[in-house]
Amino acid sequence: MRDFTYPATIVTAKTLFKVLGMTFQMSGTEHVPREGGAILAANHIGYVDFVFDGLAAQPSGRLVRFMAKKDAFDHPVSGPIMRSFHHISVDRDNGQQSYDDAVRYARDGEIVGIFPEATISRSFEIKELKTGAVRMAAEAGVPLIPMVTWGTQLLKTKDHESDLRGRGKTIGLHVGAPIAVTGDDPVAETAVLRDAMSALLDHAIAEYPLRPEGQWWAPARHGGTAPTLAEAARMDEEEYAARAARRAARNTEQ
């Protein structure tokens, strides 16, 4: 793929991060292959995760093609940018197309970034994962690479005020060893992926310069005040129900 805007945007972003005094903690970046396809499976704790996740592939000289909601591609500003970066549009009404595109990208030697939790984790723990990442890696015949981002929730996440200035913030990017998958048992292999991501999360929290105890942005398991996984699941269900009710009301008015 020819890339013109993507590399230039990364250079600009790195300069901006430096001006803002942002620091980065990275580990395991050597696990990102310097050539060939892969599926990079990352956690999802904030709205700007994808802005930073790709930096973990920079030491290997790679660009990550992220799977993102179709809305971002339909927007008059972000749409042309997303397409110029060769990201993958995810249409929930036609999920098979985005799945097929991701497999094709990976087979063609691209690194495809995916958030297997599907939605932001209010607990900041690793939620139950969809099996898509495992199935994509198996079908494409490429390694599945677990990854965890930490600190992006301090910029913009659900239920909390945003601080997109990012001044002085630390972002953790931690990559795990590739997981070989066969696709014979996607559920069991997805459980292996979740365990790997959970271990990376514990490492990220332990290495982070701010202590988690008593902090809204930290999991309850680490002494933070974020909802537990069960509480967060209940909040998600309430959100989905409210959203469905609003859609039904709009349809009734039409």
pLDDT of residue 247: 84
In this model, does residue 253 exceed pLDDT 90? no
Burial code of 60-93, b = ≥16 C-beta within 10 A, e = fewer?
A: eebbbbbbbebebbeeeeeeeebeebbbbbbeee
Q: What's the order of all strands across the beta sheet hosting 23-27?
A: 23-27, 170-175, 144-150, 38-42, 111-114, 64-69, 88-90
Residues 191-218 have a mean pLDDT of: 98
92-109 pLDDT, tens per residue?
777 899 999 999 999 999
Are residues 155 and 147 in contact, defined by beta-carbon separation less than 8 angstroms? no
**What's the whole-number mean pLDDT along residues 99-123?**
97
Q: What's the pTM value of the predicted model, to 2 decimals?
A: 0.93
CA 167, 54, 122, 225 dihedral sign is negative
Confidence of residue 20 (pLDDT cuts 50, 70, 90): very high
Give the list of residues 6+ apart from residue 194 with CB closer than 8 angstroms, or none.
126, 128, 129
pLDDT by residue (tens digit) across 125-159? 999 999 999 999 999 999 999 999 999 999 999 99
| pLDDT confidence bin for 39, thresholds 50/70/90 | very high
Q: Is the pLDDT at 112 greater than 90, yes or no?
A: yes
Q: Which phi and psi angles does 91 have, rounded to 5°?
A: -105, 110
The pLDDT assigned to 55 comes to 97
